[in-house]
């Protein structure tokens, strides 16, 4: 499945809802063995939250509702009864890093740098935090959260966010195709049970991510966040 948006493959609420719905449907299909997740174009893989929608938030309830969209997608990915393989063709920021971390296996190009830029715009990577921390560890997650600068694809591979890093788009597609074909020949039951092992201990994440969405939804209304978001949106 492929998602896309003209502004750097950013994620507005409607796209988040559609993504969660499509992943759920793919997980329920008996004729599907593996879910391949990718973004359109040749630019960024995902720029994270839509700044237009962030600017439009007017109260805490709307804010929580928007950030809950990221929670739903993350929960849908980790609870789908099939492996999700992410094809990462470019840079990923914020919520995009969360999508990658939620995938069971991610393959990227050498140019697929990552960053968590939320603190720089007056909020924090709260909703995507648990899945990123689980994938790369608290130390690396804390470092990314505090230092909102780009980190290389090789750094992300060393931390466990990427399973493989390929030098070119052609090599990326070959690696993803080979991995998906290989997994498609594996036992569906074995893969489903192994996935449950991967994400064991996340049963309480519905409540956890709801709390985190409320945190972000309140912070996005503060003056520092409003000023920072307006600055980034303009330029």
Residue 74 falls inside a structural domain: yes
Please give the pLDDT value at position 15.
96
pLDDT attached to residue 2: 96
The DSSP annotation for 149-191 comes to S-B-HHHHHHHTS-SEEESSHHHHHHHHHHHHHHHHTS-HHHH
Count of structural domains within the chain: 1
Residue 176 belongs to a domain: no
**Which pLDDT value is given to residue 92?**
98
Is 179 part of a structural domain of the chain?
A: no
* Range of the structural domain that residue 226 is part of: 2-171+184-234
Q: Is residue 164 part of a domain?
A: yes
Q: Is residue 164 within 8 Å of 107, Cβ to Cβ? A: yes
Low-confidence stretches of the chain (pLDDT beneath 50): none
Alpha-carbon span 181 to 5, nearest angstrom: 28
- Residue 220 sits in a domain of what CATH number? 3.90.226.10
Q: What is the mean pLDDT of the chain?
A: 96
pLDDT value at residue 235: 60
């Amino acid at each position: 499945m492929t998602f896309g948006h003209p502004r750097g493959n950013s994620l507005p609420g409607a796209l988040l809802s559609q993504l969660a719905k499509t992943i759920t449907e793919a997980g329920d299909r008996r004729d599907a063995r593996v879910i391949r997740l990718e973004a359109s174009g040749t630019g960024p893989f995902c720029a994270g939250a839509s700044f237009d929608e962030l600017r439009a938030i007017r109260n805490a309830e709307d804010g929580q509702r928007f950030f809950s969209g990221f929670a739903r997608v993350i929960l849908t990915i980790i609870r789908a009864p099939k492996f999700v393989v992410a094809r990462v063709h470019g840079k990923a920021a914020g919520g995009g890093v969360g999508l990658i971390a939620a995938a069971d296996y991610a393959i990227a190009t050498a140019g697929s740098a990552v960053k968590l830029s939320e603190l720089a715009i007056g909020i924090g990577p709260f909703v995507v935090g648990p899945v990123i921390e689980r994938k790369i560890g608290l130390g690396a997650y804390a470092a990314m959260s505090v230092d909102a600068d780009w980190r290389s694809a090789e750094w992300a591979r060393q931390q466990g966010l990427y399973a493989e890093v390929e030098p070119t788009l052609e090599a990326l597609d070959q690696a993803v195709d080979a991995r998906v074909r290989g997994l498609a020949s594996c036992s569906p039951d074995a893969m489903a049970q192994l996935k449950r092992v991967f994400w064991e201990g996340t049963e309480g994440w519905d409540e956890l991510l709801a709390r985190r969405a409320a945190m972000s939804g309140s912070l996005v209304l503060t003056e520092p966040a409003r000023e920072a978001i307006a600055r980034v949106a303009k330029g």
